[in-house]
Amino acid sequence: MKKIFWDKGHGGSDPGAVANGLQEKVLTHKIVEYATDYLAAHYEGFTQRVSREGDQSLTLDQRADMANAWSADVFVSVHINAGKGTGFEIYVHPNASPQSIALQNVLHDEILSAMRQFGNVTDRGKKRANYAVLRETKMPAVLTENLFIDSNDAKHLKNEAFLKAVGEAHARGVAKFLGLREKPKVQSQQKPSDGKLYRVQVGAFSDRKNAERLAEELKKKGYPAIIV
């Protein structure tokens, strides 16, 4: 059973970056919720946790400690950028393991592809930084910076469909990295149209008068009804 730890950047008394009527902590919460929902709906063979369920304040050390104590198999920290730039970038630690780099590669491609369905998005690349949550975690770990809150990127960040697509892309990337099994698809019971007619029995009655009464009611509603 694979363990996935999702870190919603900022929260509580720390809103993160704020601009254009948006708060980073709110956006990261939404993206991660979309990711966890998508994983739960489409994959099996895993369990997942989040650093905060709602709007709690957490230190960087607390986030890493939670993932380490749980012995997570993967750690993904979700953020929104600031600084009036544009585009998407994803980080690993400067001394990243080959597994972290592999996770970075698959998430980079999956997320950027999803973003570009909404228009041109700048690829700021795969980067390295000595961020605490990447330095202190003991499992493959990445940190995503999903566009800029204080630039024209904000038009995407205000689009709920965009946030949903980005969250689901995070989920697919993690699923690919971990090799999660897809849930079996439920087969439709409806037969394809083949020109045949299929009869549906409404009821059976020991008293013919009751049968005739129901047949009349069905006929009044436009349904063909016969008594056999």
For the record, the structure tokens of 153 come out as 């990127």
Distance CA 48, CA 168 (A): 15
Catalytic residue among 24, 89, 145, 168, which? 145
User: Burial code of 20-33, b = ≥16 C-beta within 10 A, e = fewer?
Assistant: eebbbbbbbbbbbb
Q: Look up 145 and say whether it is catalytic.
A: yes
Contacts of 210 (CB under 8 A, 6+ apart): none
Active site residues: 145
